[in-house]
Structure 1
């Protein structure tokens, strides 16, 4: 019996995959797509250790396994290197966000979640000071224009560090202060490193989706799935139910209601187990707005295997971030 690409994705991105045969899965299509979407390490672990009798072809397992092995080594190198740089830094409050924060707080194994770069959210007044501190550890500014809305990007040729400030815009300084006030310490990285609270972390993912016009790897939707579910496979800072009232209030204050609706709607389509939790967290948008977002973003972004993305990304960014 043929298995769809979406079903293959759901099984191999699960932390508790259902046992069964994947012999009829579209492996020729899935493997390249999964590698490009950052899904290969988790898929490989599932095939090798959770679903060894699934019937996956040897060539597919070999390709995915090579990515998994590389991801484990690369993540450990980057995270240990960063820890060595910052664990003696005192008197600051720097927020670890994105992959580096999620790899050990949402995923049962740090190798499941590739960390391509370290992302840090900090106050604008701390950007130059922290850049100077990193320079003492051989980090130098990248010559090209910073990408993805970062204020500055530094690298020691092995680990890029993206520095973000004023992510909510200059008019929402009070809301930005709230993110820092609610942040939780990340003790393994020293006294100056923190990570956003659960609701803030979820909204920051939605903000990234919107600013990238939903041209994001599908691994980001796995991140969002685990935030919605309350990281049930872990026992850490994100392992609790969402405070839906707080989430909706912050989305309104950040002017991210459209982005929250869109990102959560995609997650509910991709992962049916999240639907009951997503429903009360959807902002009450006008019907015409909901239909527009469904047609322009939610439906096309929920089709696996597509390397293209919704058109009009600049217009989408303005629509979704309230600009």
Structure 2
């Protein structure tokens, strides 16, 4: 029996893919979808170097491999440039989010995880100052093509930097203060650059997913998989078990229990091997709330290749993020 799109997703985004033939798999659907979801680099590496091609058609292998090679080059260029840009910056506390935080901390190879933009969380009072610093390096404000929750987006024509502030809402600035206090130095990029603590990183990923109405690339669930399972392939900040009691308490304080439940429930459907850590980390919601979230968000968001947006997306965003 030929593998389904979901089967291909699970195997080709694993760090331990199962060997076997993928002849007859839905390659026409998978290749375009994987590229759009940010999964092509990891899938290409697995296909070429771990599975020996797995009887995939030549055109599919070539196309995925070209994306992988391009991603490796782009990531190196973008991250080396960012390091040069901020390494001498002192007296600030800037937290890395998304790909720039995860490419070298969750993935065995930096080329597996595309870094399309640099996402930074900073205090509201630092937005103008850091924007001014970037302006000295030819960065100019950019209009957002799609709402992302960023306070400001800047670009020098090559690198996009998205600045986020007050991500928990203005009424929870004390909680945000704690997030900054718990952050860990990322010395590679200089004295002003930090990464969120593990439990904070999980909640920030869930918050981003919820704010996007679960219309974000599925690469985000690979990030979440590694955070929840303790980044066992690495030896770094995120390579430890989750403190689930701390996670649940912060989710409650940040009013993100519904977002945490939804993201973790989708994760368990996409990657059944995460069921045990997910079950331990699920927040205590009323049964009626769980059933509503499962029906309206979890089930439709777990369908590989889905293109239609969730119904009532704006209302769901407010429901999931407590805003």
**TM-score over 0.5 for the pair:** yes
Q: Where do 1:242-253 residues align within 5 Å?
A: 242-253=242-253
CA displacement at 1:143 relative to structure 2: 4.5
1:142 aligns with 142
2:235 aligns with 235
C-alpha separation in 2, matches of 1:186 and 1:139: 23
2:12 aligns with 12
1:45 aligns with 45
C-alpha separation in 2, matches of 1:54 and 1:252: 45
1:58 aligns with 58
CA displacement at 1:290 relative to structure 2: 0.4
Matching of residue 23 in structure 1 with residue 23 in structure 2:
yes
2:272 aligns with 272
C-alpha separation in 2, matches of 1:145 and 1:37: 18
Unaligned runs of 5+ in 2: none
The CA deviation string for residues 223-274 of structure 1, in whole angstroms up to 9 with x for no partner, is 0000001101111100000000000000000000000000000000100110
Q: SS of 2:20's equivalent?
A: coil
The CA deviation string for residues 71-130 of structure 1, in whole angstroms up to 9 with x for no partner, is 111111111111110000011110011111011111111111111110000000000000
Matching of residue 261 in structure 1 with residue 261 in structure 2:
yes
1:36 aligns with 36
1:309 aligns with 309
Q: SS of 1:171's equivalent?
A: helix
CA displacement at 1:147 relative to structure 2: 3.5
The CA deviation string for residues 42-72 of structure 1, in whole angstroms up to 9 with x for no partner, is 0000011000151111110001011111111
CA displacement at 1:26 relative to structure 2: 1.0
Q: SS of 2:116's equivalent?
A: coil
C-alpha separation in 2, matches of 1:147 and 1:116: 16
Unaligned runs of 5+ in 1: none
Matching of residue 154 in structure 1 with residue 154 in structure 2:
yes
Task: Find runs of 4+ consecutive structure 1 residues off by over 4 angstroms.
Answer: 143-146
CA displacement at 1:30 relative to structure 2: 0.7
Q: SS of 2:170's equivalent?
A: coil
C-alpha separation in 2, matches of 1:146 and 1:130: 23
C-alpha separation in 1, matches of 2:239 and 2:145: 37
C-alpha separation in 1, matches of 2:10 and 2:216: 18
C-alpha separation in 1, matches of 2:82 and 2:31: 31
Count of residue pairs brought into register by the alignment: 323
Matching of residue 175 in structure 1 with residue 169 in structure 2:
no
Answer yes or no: is the 8 Å Cα contact 2:139–2:156 preserved in 1: yes
Q: Where do 1:275-290 residues align within 5 Å?
A: 275-290=275-290
C-alpha separation in 1, matches of 2:136 and 2:83: 14
C-alpha separation in 2, matches of 1:60 and 1:179: 43
2:205 aligns with 205
C-alpha separation in 1, matches of 2:74 and 2:132: 25
Answer yes or no: is the 8 Å Cα contact 1:108–1:234 preserved in 2: yes
Answer yes or no: is the 8 Å Cα contact 1:99–1:115 preserved in 2: yes
C-alpha separation in 2, matches of 1:144 and 1:63: 29
